[in-house]
Amino acid sequence: MISSDNKCCAAQVVLKVSHPRHHSQQLSSCDTVAPLTPVQDPAEVRHHLLPFRPNLRQHCSQPHITCVSVQDKRQGGVRGGKDWGLCQRSAEGVERLLTVLGPGEVTVLLQQVEEWCGYGGKALHKPPVIRLYQKNSFLFFTQVFNDPIHGHIELPPLLVKIIDTPQFQRLRKIKQLGGGYYVFPGASHNRFEHSVGVGHLAGELVKALRAKQLEEPSLNSESLINDRDVLCVQIAGLCHDLGKSYTVFQYYMHYIEDVRWLHHHEDASILMFDHLVDDNKLTPVMNEYGLITEGDNENDLVFIKEMIKGSVKNNSPLNEQLYKGRNNEKSFLYEIVANKQNGIDVDKFDYFARDCHHLGIQNNFDHRRFIVFARVCNVDGQLHICSRDKEMANLYDMFHTRNSLHRRAYQHRVKMAVEIMIKDALLKADQDQHFQIKWAKGKACRLSKAKKHMEAYTNLTGRGFEVWCLKLTTHLTFKTSEIIQRIMCRDLYQLVGEIKVAKFDYGKNNEDPIRNYTYFYSKFNPTIGFKIKPEEVSNLLPECFSEKHIRVYWKRRNDKRLEDAKKCFEAVKKVLILES
């Protein structure tokens, strides 16, 4: 049934055609089989099949071919008998077929399909089924996630290997909105599903950009976005939040002098990514998938970490090298996962849609439409991701959604009270020698040192912190447990008052990020990017793009002085308003 060498270096594809009027017939094994080794990325195979694509699509759309499926066989056995069906007229199905077949096999396949199916005047009355079997190939073992936001999403095998590690699985125990779960019962989603969603969207955007560039002869489309770039962008999107912990931990770290340099979660994400790769010995696996993990020339590990860190604001001369992982020609790739230029990136696409879904807040921004109209354009000699000029309103909807989420959820007064209480509990717990984060071989460290030891940081989650606090009974930790117990009983800090002077802006402080930092292209000149003119911006936009609040909370419980504190705050507030 299967003709194949036992080694993983090459595999032959055998066609089986089934028809109601005939017994299943095994066609001759393809003589011109291109080696499909584990070091090849499926996207690389597709790239070699570009000349055959139109002809193959024509045959796969014929009415007498209903299904093409790939059955994964490993170590001489069927892996759970799992088939991946490729239905007729399915673009995804054709792409999967292109992935499995080598260049020489396509021609043979077309000839055999024509002969057996009676193509060209002898069409069969009932459609046959064609199956392709391949042995000893793990390249095509992908995992499908049923996501409530993006539907069924499929991730490459290398991303699945990263997901199946303790460092990534810890994200299941970290709430996306931190203390927001104590206010919004539906906000129970975690960093895990958000990270999977960002990895998916990063792949969707970079593939859409590559598809458009293949149609553009003026750009060096063959090398502008290659298969390594696509895989690296997907990994960066998947791992961009590896360093996240319980939301308030980020605020807590700001108060600890010797770890203040790790206050930004991107720094911890890079350290955690290095730890994930080393601890799970993924470097050889990455090499098998074609990634370059050594040397200074286009090192893919460096490229992934630079994308997690985010793009830099480009005020440098065009001849100055901005990044180490990729040259300046590919600097637009850094705008996909963490765009520091204008804040338009797939990270926000996912958490806007996901948070709005779980919070019950309307999301007016359509990220799928943005991906359709995004393309790479030349802006003063440098390539950037640009959108159609008519998509300006959709992008402003995105920033309005961000503003709304901050006002109604992220900076909610009760949510902030909960997170301030957790911050106080952390500060007290860090002073207790009994409260330490442990990891293998009996090692332990204080809470404030956890970000310097990724083994300990892996065990640091919001769920674990609450359990530890409630179990420990020393004097200082008892105070910590008391604060946690107050949160559980909803005996929260009371709001004394606020002055509107939570900082939530449109991503660039008091500047318009779209007018000042975003580029567009026109229908008639899709390769040149430009900024919009001030007169083209709607008059409904706010004059001020930054809004701040000062809040004062009362910590003591059942204190009669709370009313006096409120009166004092109102007096101070009036003075500040008059002075402003």
pLDDT of residue 580: 59
Residue, of 197 and 505, whose pLDDT is higher:
197
Least confident of 373-377, 432-436, 488-492, 571-575: 432-436
Ranked by mean pLDDT, which of 29-33, 381-385, 421-425 comes out on top?
381-385
pLDDT per residue as tens digits for the range 506-547:
555 567 788 888 999 999 999 999 998 877 765 545 555 566
**97 contact partners, CB below 8 Å, separation of at least 6:** 56, 60, 68, 70, 86, 132
Residue, of 158 and 106, whose pLDDT is higher:
158
pLDDT of residue 508: 56
pLDDT of residue 322: 82
Residue, of 128 and 353, whose pLDDT is higher:
353
Please tell me the distance from the alpha carbon of residue 238 to that of residue 196, in angstroms, as a whole number. 6
B/e letters for 146-167, b = 16+ CB within 10 Å, e = fewer, are eeebbeebebbbbbebbbebeb
**342 contact partners, CB below 8 Å, separation of at least 6:** 507, 508, 513, 514, 517, 518
Please tell me the distance from the alpha carbon of residue 432 to that of residue 443, in angstroms, as a whole number. 16
Domain 143-411+503-547 falls in which CATH fold? Hypothetical protein af1432 (1.10.3210)
The catalytic residue among 47, 48, 263, 453 is 263
Radius of gyration for the alpha carbons in the chain, expressed in angstroms and rounded: 28
Residue, of 314 and 291, whose pLDDT is higher:
291
Task: Examine the pLDDT at 394 and tell me if it is beyond 80.
Answer: yes
B/e letters for 381-407, b = 16+ CB within 10 Å, e = fewer, are eebbbbbbeebbebbbbbbbbbbbbbe
The residue whose two tokens read 């064609």 is: 130
State the pLDDT confidence band at 422, using cuts at 50, 70 and 90: confident
Percent of the chain with pLDDT over 70: 63
Residue, of 218 and 401, whose pLDDT is higher:
401
Please tell me the distance from the alpha carbon of residue 15 to that of residue 113, in angstroms, as a whole number. 9
pLDDT of residue 314: 57
Angle between the 53-60 and 91-100 helix axes, to the nearest 10 degrees?
120
pLDDT per residue as tens digits for the range 8-22:
333 333 333 333 333
pLDDT of residue 405: 92
Least confident of 77-91, 497-511, 555-569: 77-91
Q: What is the DSSP string of 328-383?
A: GGGGGGGGTTS-TTTS-SHHHHHHHHHHHHHHT------HHHHHHH-EEEEETTEE
Q: Is 263 a catalytic residue?
A: yes
Reading the block at residue 503, the tokens are 């900082």
pTM: 0.74
pLDDT of residue 441: 73
Residue, of 157 and 506, whose pLDDT is higher:
157
The residue whose two tokens read 């430009």 is: 530
Ranked by mean pLDDT, which of 1-15, 164-178, 555-569 comes out on top?
164-178
Antiparallel, parallel or unpaired: β 129-135 and 67-74: parallel
pLDDT of residue 460: 80
Task: Examine the pLDDT at 129 and tell me if it is beyond 50.
Answer: no
Least confident of 67-76, 180-189, 257-266, 321-330: 67-76
Residue, of 137 and 94, whose pLDDT is higher:
94
The residue whose two tokens read 């991303």 is: 159
B/e letters for 548-560, b = 16+ CB within 10 Å, e = fewer, are eeebbbbeeeeee
pLDDT per residue as tens digits for the range 178-187:
889 999 999 9
Chain-wide mean pLDDT for the chain?
73
Angle between the 300-309 and 265-279 helix axes, to the nearest 10 degrees?
150
Say if CB 503 and CB 548 are below 8 A apart.
Answer: yes
Ranked by mean pLDDT, which of 19-33, 211-225, 261-275, 289-303 comes out on top?
289-303
pLDDT of residue 42: 41
Say if CB 456 and CB 438 are below 8 A apart.
Answer: yes
State the pLDDT confidence band at 68, using cuts at 50, 70 and 90: very low
**195 contact partners, CB below 8 Å, separation of at least 6:** 168, 171, 237, 238, 239, 240, 241, 242
pLDDT of residue 539: 54
Task: Examine the pLDDT at 167 and tell me if it is beyond 60.
Answer: yes
Domain boundaries, the chain: 14-135, 143-411+503-547, 437-501+549-579
pLDDT of residue 64: 37
pLDDT of residue 152: 93
Tell me the average pLDDT across 240-246.
85
pLDDT per residue as tens digits for the range 438-485:
777 778 888 778 878 888 888 887 766 666 666 666 666 777 888 888
Please tell me the distance from the alpha carbon of residue 368 to that of residue 230, in angstroms, as a whole number. 18
User: Percent helix, strand, coil in the chain (nearest 5)?
Assistant: 50, 15, 35
Q: How many CB atoms lie within 10 A of CB 212?
A: 18
Tell me the average pLDDT across 243-261.
55
β strands within 382-476, DSSP E: 382-388, 437-438, 444-445
